Homo-oligomer: A and B are copies of this chain.
Amino acid sequence: MNPDYSRSIPQVWRRMSRVFTALGDEHRQRILLTFDRGERLNVGQIVAVSTLSRPAVSHHLKILREAEVLCSEKVGKEVFFWINKDFLTETFDNVRDYLDQYL
């Protein structure tokens, strides 16, 4: 038993914790599933296929970006988002290693 972990998330888990929190919402999961391989989508495209208003989508995109699940870049008037594949791969590999080593 690790009683320490029951009161606060340890430092090494903070970044991953934010990923899980970001992924723990169905709207955000659905946004992520709309991305094809290597694709970049602007906000308008995501709003167009979403059931939510633009401010709501913008809110979810912000959470995903802050959790480093998505990257974004402004090009002219548009803001493009894409999946941070490297970070997600690293994150899930870490979780996988934790499962193997400690559980």
Contact = CB atoms under 8 A, between A and B. Distances in A.
Interface of A: 1-3, 5-10, 13, 17, 20-26, 29-31, 33-39, 41, 45-46, 49-51, 83, 85, 88-89, 92-93, 95-96, 99-100, 102-103
Q: So how many copies of this chain end up in the complex?
A: 2
Most buried by B among A13, A20, A39: A20
A95 to B, nearest CB: 5
Contacts of A25: 21, 24
Nearest to A33: B5
B92 A99 contact: yes
A2 B31 CA distance: 10
A96 B89 contact: yes
Contacts of A85: 99, 103
